[in-house]
Amino acid sequence: MSRKKSQTIIFITGFLIALISLSIFSFREIDTTEETVQIKPDGRLQYKWYAPELPASLSFAGEKVPLHRPEIREQLDRELLYNYYNQYSTIYILKLANRYFPVIEPILKANGIPEDFKYLCVAESALQNQISRVGAVGFWQFMPATAPEYGLEVNEEVDERYHVAKSTEAACKYFKKAFDRFGNWTAAAASYNMGMGGYNSQAGFQQTSDYYNLLLPEETMRYIFRILALKMLVKDAKHLRVIAHKADLYQPYKTTVVTVNSSIPDLAQSAIDRGTNYRSLTQLNPRLRSRKLTVKPGKTYQIELPALKN
C-alpha cells in the first residue's frame, strides 16, 4: 500500500470517528442543572454559584447558637458565604490543621478548655504565624504588652508568641479567666476579640453578658460567627464539598528536642554543628528572632531539630 493511500485512509477513518462522536453528543439531552459549569455557544464558561446550606442546629463549646432567630441565621450565613467561597484559604487551613491540631487539641483538653476553641485559633490566624497591622503576633495573635501577662517571653531574641504550644497554653489561661468572669464560653471567646474590659463594659451597660443579645463593635459582632463558619468548613469539609485529600495534608514535623542551657553567639554555626542549617532551625523554632540566643543563668530552652533519618 502506498504511503499516500495509507494517509488518506487514516484521515477518512479519523473524520468518520469524529462525525459519529459529534452526532452522539448533538442528540444527547442536556440537563443544565447537572453541572456547576455551563459552556456558552461562544466557548465561554458560565459558573454556577450556590449558597451552602445552613444547619438546623449549631453550638459553640457546647453552648447552643440561637439559629431560630432570623438575624442570627443571617449573620452566620454571611460569614459562611464569605469563607466558603474563599476556597484556597480554606483548603490551606485543612492541610495545616493536620499538622497543628494534634499540638493544640491536647493542650486545650489538659486545661479544661472546650475543643471548639481550636477554631478560634483558625479565625485569628488561619493556623499561621501572622503579624497583624496593630502588632499582634502568632497563632493566637497576642499583643506584645499582653503576652507576658500570660507567661510568654517576648524580647529581641525570643518571642514565644511564635511558639504554638506555649502560646496555646497562654491562650488557655485567658479563656479560663474570661469564663470565670462572664460565666459562658461564647462570651469568653468574644472577649478575646475586644478584651475583657471592653466586653464587660458593654455587658454592664446593656445588662446582659449574652453575646447574641449584645450590640458590640462590628468586628466582634462578626467574630463568633466567623469561628462558627470555620468550624463548619473544617469539621464538615467533605459534606460541604471542600476537599483536601489525605495524601495532600501537611504532616507534623519529625523532630528531636535538645536542651540548651548556655548562650549561643551564632545560631547559624550552631545549626551546622548539629547537622542542620539556620533555615531549618528557625522554621522549627520560629520564636528565635535573632542570630544569637542569650541564656541567662538557671534558664534553659528546648530547641527542636530535624529528626535524624534512620
Q: Per the structure, how many domains does the chain have?
A: 3
Q: Which amino acid is at 171?
A: A
What integer pLDDT is reported at residue 47 of this predicted model? 64
Whether 161 and 79 map to the same domain: the answer is yes
Q: Which residues contact 89 (CB under 8 A, 6 or more apart)?
A: 83, 126
Whether 135 and 92 map to the same domain: the answer is yes
Whether 181 and 70 map to the same domain: the answer is yes
Whether 177 and 114 map to the same domain: the answer is yes
Boundaries of domain holding 81 = 59-248
Helices and strands in the chain: count of H runs, count of E runs = 10, 6
Structure confidence by residue, pLDDT tens digits, 253-288: 999 999 999 999 999 999 999 999 999 999 999 999
Whether 177 and 63 map to the same domain: the answer is yes
Place of cell 452522539: 24
Whether 172 and 152 map to the same domain: the answer is yes
191 in a structural domain: yes
Contact 287, 158 (CB under 8 A): yes
Whether 228 and 263 map to the same domain: the answer is no
192 in a structural domain: yes
Q: What is the C-alpha to C-alpha distance for residues 260 and 79, in angstroms, rounded to an integer?
A: 45
Strands 301-306 and 255-260: antiparallel
Q: What is the C-alpha to C-alpha distance for residues 190 and 209, in angstroms, rounded to an integer?
A: 10
Contact 145, 133 (CB under 8 A): no
Place of cell 440561637: 66
Digits of tens for pLDDT over the chain (310 positions)? 454 455 555 555 554 444 444 444 444 444 445 566 677 777 776 666 677 788 899 999 999 999 999 999 999 999 999 988 888 899 999 999 999 999 999 999 999 999 999 999 999 999 999 999 999 999 999 999 999 999 999 999 999 999 999 999 999 999 999 999 999 999 999 999 999 999 999 999 999 999 999 999 999 999 999 999 999 999 887 777 777 888 999 999 999 999 999 999 999 999 999 999 999 999 999 999 999 999 999 999 999 999 976 5
DSSP code string of 282-304: HHH-TTB-SSSB---TT--EEEE
Whether 196 and 120 map to the same domain: the answer is yes
